Chains A and B, each alone.
Chain A
């Protein structure tokens, strides 16, 4: 089932990428990133069965990081919304150099 799992993982990842590319809502883009992380997790798990349990441990770490990221990221979005009254990234360019 390795090949199939990687197939699904790749498709999910690509969908996540397309989502990031086509959407402008910060929260949705954020969720797309979560989807990409999940897609990667899937391949980790699949590889773990084929090559050893370390993959699962890695998934564990990815999830932790994702949780942390969600917490901080959402806090940033809230702060940004409070400041700009929008989460539409087209209207936000505070990263301009």
Chain B
């Protein structure tokens, strides 16, 4: 049943190569999930060495957030209280060793396989391979005219995504070995993480929208499970639930988009859709509606306005999760979807403009919030939302390669930032743990001056910061610059520029987006520098006793950091602009992805590739660099880490600072406007009112009361006097006979 090849696949240039093992890619992590999942069901946990020296710096995972600490201890079935004591026993799972082999190993094998496939693909012509390699396994939903196969496809875009997912995934798995070491739910963690990778691979490998949707919702599920990994704390469980439900709102959009596609094109296969979509009217309401609904799905998964609210809360999960799911891979699925559906979006300029606008607004909006966050992970979370906005600006404006390029570089430096922050938190918590303190291990006001204690982390995080800020020759510089540049170039002479968005000319919209992008770049440089300064520089605020226990993380954690650091530094080589041709081959990614998105990109730009003059390009690049450096300088000059006091003694913020710290009160507003009325309506009107009041009380029990009334009448007639009965009977007989007589 499995692996029933379709004959046409045999003619593909990749047929017979290692790519035939495509199905193994998601299956490997799935296997890991099964093994780790079974291990996690083994209830036994053993007490690890209770000796503080042995556990030194190793049980940091306990303190994910301030609340995470208490939770943890309670996870062991028979340990209560005594948490405030200095040395509570370290709890390790009996099969932790097996999980730490299986979990990363399946990923590493998958990565190796992916690399092999990459070379196979290059060997088969790489950038010139125009049809995806499709493998059909079995018929999934045959229903009348609707035929849906469980099928995977591999093309250049999927290949890139697979490499990022398995590569970064492997590194994060390795990091987790150290980070989660003493968590009793260790195998469970790896099980979820493996499952996530499996679904993520299904998402990028699916050959039609429903298979993509399987991965799409599957990663949402894993995100839900991992955010709520320390479920004993209500806030964590709430965050997981919120993520899932908000994502579902987006999924609703994606579903509707699929229904519209099927109703109008009769197919949901990527290949067939791309072939047939030109039958729809260019820029017509139908294709625009499809794209907008699809984009609703993206706003959910990729945390864009108005559905971004779940992502900052999602930081309740363990830090490796934040790195893998909520920075590097899952949240970029929306970008992937648009790139995948580039043919559709290139047909709908209005939808493209909408994507651009939403992306720009999200970028600037999240960046302003990031300015005033104190939780180190929250800063990174809003930074992620902001960077995702950049990617959407790219894919929305038809610069699909730029968007995907930023996706890849962002995966490197943001994973590095998150893992670095994990390393910091790990150290902070270990320190607090040793002194029995209950301070918040994630609040930057409690940090400061950590650089001497953790040199490796410090250097690597600076690399990532420079990358995200857009300092030249780091990865982020190239990708961000390409997005901004293409926005600028498409503001004239493209279908987008000619379209009108809510009455505004498209070119004005694109220039506006470009301006917002620049502003967001400035803010990005500021808040990232702020984070670095408050964390690593200035005086130390951890406290006297804790200072002695600050240590760099073990090699299993720093190792992946180093690899990511290298990637963040040189990731830009993937797609060098013409102006930096002295660094290497120009536009490698452009050529690689050309078969997938090239046609669509050209459609947006009216058939001619936009070429900037050398001077324009220099000006654009120069402006971006200037802004990045300006941001770093502003932050470095204006911020006074010396004035900071630990969180516990910090005063309340006022005015705009307070609004920013409270994220513009958007969560509260959603609560008031959406959640509370819905629940109130359901409880007050629908349930108590209609269900119990009208239907049950009036109609159902009302008719019962009516019947009871009649029957009490009947009961009164039944007096029990047989004499009376006889009379009634005889009169009845008289009447019946009388009727016969008269007739």
Task: Name A residues whose Cβ lies closer than 8 Å to a Cβ of B.
Answer: 17, 20-21, 24, 29, 89-90, 92-97
Q: Which of B114-163 contact A (CB under 8 A)?
A: none
A94 to B722, CA, bound (A): 10
A93 to B721, CA, bound (A): 5
Determine if A17 and B730 form an interchain contact, defined as CB atoms under 8 angstroms apart: yes
Which of B1-9, B57-65, B480-488, B712-720 is the contact stretch?
A: B712-720
Query: In the complex, which of the residues A24, A92, A96 contacts B718, with contact meaning CB atoms closer than 8 Å?
Result: A96
A96 to B722, CA, bound (A): 10
B81 at the A/B interface (Cβ < 8 Å)?
no
Determine if A24 and B720 form an interchain contact, defined as CB atoms under 8 angstroms apart: no
Determine if B719 and A24 form an interchain contact, defined as CB atoms under 8 angstroms apart: no
B740 at the A/B interface (Cβ < 8 Å)?
no
B11 at the A/B interface (Cβ < 8 Å)?
no
Determine if B730 and A21 form an interchain contact, defined as CB atoms under 8 angstroms apart: yes
Chain B residues within an 8 Å CB radius of A95: 718, 720, 722, 725
Determine if B727 and A93 form an interchain contact, defined as CB atoms under 8 angstroms apart: no
Determine if B727 and A97 form an interchain contact, defined as CB atoms under 8 angstroms apart: no
Q: Smallest CB-CB separation from A18: which chain B residue?
A: B730
Chain B residues within an 8 Å CB radius of A90: 721, 723
Determine if B730 and A93 form an interchain contact, defined as CB atoms under 8 angstroms apart: no
* Chain A to chain B contacts (Cβ below 8 Å), 7 pairs: A21-B730, A29-B722, A93-B719, A96-B719, A97-B714, A97-B715, A97-B720
B296 to chain A, nearest CB (A): 65
Query: In the complex, which of the residues A20, A21, A89 contacts B721, with contact meaning CB atoms closer than 8 Å?
Result: A89
Chain A residues within an 8 Å CB radius of B717: 97
A24 to B725, CA, bound (A): 12
Known: A20-B726, A21-B726. A97 touches B721 (CB 8 A): no
Determine if A21 and B718 form an interchain contact, defined as CB atoms under 8 angstroms apart: no
A27 to chain B, nearest CB (A): 13
Determine if B730 and A92 form an interchain contact, defined as CB atoms under 8 angstroms apart: no
Determine if B722 and A89 form an interchain contact, defined as CB atoms under 8 angstroms apart: yes
Chain B residues within an 8 Å CB radius of A92: 720, 722
Chain A residues within an 8 Å CB radius of B722: 29, 89, 92, 95
A22 to B60, CA, bound (A): 102
Determine if B715 and A21 form an interchain contact, defined as CB atoms under 8 angstroms apart: no
Known: A97-B714, A97-B715, A97-B718. A24 touches B723 (CB 8 A): yes
Q: A17-B730, A20-B730, A97-B714 are in contact. List 12 more A-B contacts (CB 8 A).
A: A20-B726, A21-B723, A21-B727, A29-B726, A89-B721, A90-B721, A93-B719, A94-B720, A95-B718, A95-B725, A96-B719, A97-B717
Give the interface centre of B717, B723, B727 by most chain A CB atoms within 10 Å: B723
A58 to chain B, nearest CB (A): 20
B710 to chain A, nearest CB (A): 13
A89 to B725, CA, bound (A): 11
Q: Smallest CB-CB separation from A33: which chain B residue?
A: B726
A21 to B734, CA, bound (A): 14
Chain A residues within an 8 Å CB radius of B726: 20-21, 29
Q: Smallest CB-CB separation from A20: which chain B residue?
A: B726
Per-position binary interface string of chain B over residues 213-228, scored 1 when its CB falls under 8 Å from any chain A CB and 0 otherwise: 0000000000000000
B265 to chain A, nearest CB (A): 70
A77 to chain B, nearest CB (A): 12
B486 to chain A, nearest CB (A): 89
Chain A residues within an 8 Å CB radius of B714: 97
A10 to chain B, nearest CB (A): 12
A82 to chain B, nearest CB (A): 18
Per-position binary interface string of chain B over residues 703-743, scored 1 when its CB falls under 8 Å from any chain A CB and 0 otherwise: 00000000000110111111101110010000000000000
Determine if B723 and A96 form an interchain contact, defined as CB atoms under 8 angstroms apart: no
A97 to B710, CA, bound (A): 13
Chain B residues within an 8 Å CB radius of A17: 730
Chain A residues within an 8 Å CB radius of B715: 97
A90 to B725, CA, bound (A): 12
Determine if B723 and A93 form an interchain contact, defined as CB atoms under 8 angstroms apart: no
A-B residue pairs, 3 tightest by C-beta: A93-B720, A97-B718, A96-B720
A51 to chain B, nearest CB (A): 21
Q: Smallest CB-CB separation from A95: which chain B residue?
A: B720
Query: In the complex, which of the residues A89, A94, A97 contacts B723, with contact meaning CB atoms closer than 8 Å?
Result: A89
A41 to chain B, nearest CB (A): 19
Q: Smallest CB-CB separation from A24: which chain B residue?
A: B723
Q: Smallest CB-CB separation from B734: which chain A residue?
A: A17
B735 to chain A, nearest CB (A): 14
Q: Smallest CB-CB separation from B717: which chain A residue?
A: A97
A73 to chain B, nearest CB (A): 12
A96 to B719, CA, bound (A): 5
A6 to chain B, nearest CB (A): 15
Chain B residues within an 8 Å CB radius of A24: 723
Q: Which of B220-260 contact A (CB under 8 A)?
A: none
Q: Smallest CB-CB separation from B729: which chain A residue?
A: A20
Per-position binary interface string of chain B over residues 682-720, scored 1 when its CB falls under 8 Å from any chain A CB and 0 otherwise: 000000000000000000000000000000001101111
Chain B residues within an 8 Å CB radius of A96: 718-720
Q: Smallest CB-CB separation from A96: which chain B residue?
A: B720
Chain B residues within an 8 Å CB radius of A89: 721-723
Q: Smallest CB-CB separation from A17: which chain B residue?
A: B730
A81 to B714, CA, bound (A): 28
A94 to B715, CA, bound (A): 13
A90 to B721, CA, bound (A): 6
A15 to B727, CA, bound (A): 14
Chain A residues within an 8 Å CB radius of B719: 93, 96
Chain B residues within an 8 Å CB radius of A21: 723, 726-727, 730
A32 to B327, CA, bound (A): 100
B604 to chain A, nearest CB (A): 85
Chain A residues within an 8 Å CB radius of B730: 17, 20-21
A42 to B245, CA, bound (A): 87
B707 to chain A, nearest CB (A): 15
Q: Smallest CB-CB separation from B722: which chain A residue?
A: A89
